[in-house]
Copies of this chain bind each other. A is one copy, B any other.
Amino acid sequence: MFPARIDMVTLGVANVAASRQFYERLGFVASGFDSKDVTFFDMNGTVLGLYGRVPLAEDAGVSDKGDGFRAVSLAINLASQEAVDQALGFAESCGGRIVQPVREVFWGGYSGYFADPDGHLWEIAYNPFFELEEDGRMQLPPPAR
């Protein structure tokens, strides 16, 4: 009835071209569907969309007023602390703003955060408790029941 999927995460941005350039510097490759108004990146199982903040609000039928913490973060899990250091350093060199420097976290992992040009939060993490699939993705423990 209701599928457990996230097919796309769309970020509302002030300037689609500038935001696209930022993500292309990170190495993401835009699909051939792009226009000046929207960009899509294949994120290995889900899609990252970039769309204007105002038209995104209009599309959702909500006010575009809002600021501060968005209560959403996107995470990439890597296989070691060193890989986290390198990826966060690379993000910073591409213009990402480090909002949380890497550190060991209370739950036993290691992570840091950067913000994209619009303040969207990305966490880069090493989690020694979750196995990674061959393609790098997190493997959750099975349901308890």
Contact = CB atoms under 8 A, between A and B. Distances in A.
Interface of A: 1-13, 26-34, 40-49, 53, 56-57, 59-78, 86-87, 90-91, 94, 99-101, 105, 111, 113, 115, 118, 120-121, 123, 129-130, 136-138, 140-144
Copies in the complex: 2
B62 A137 contact: no
Contact of A5 (B3, B44, B70, B120): B44
Contact of A64 (B46, B64, B69, B94): B69
B27 A4 contact: yes
B71 A13 contact: yes
A30 to B, nearest CB: 6
A111 B91 CA distance: 34
A96 B34 CA distance: 31
A86 B109 CA distance: 40
B72 A72 contact: yes
A2 B33 contact: no
A60 B4 contact: no
B99 A61 contact: yes
Contact of A66 (B32, B59, B68): B68
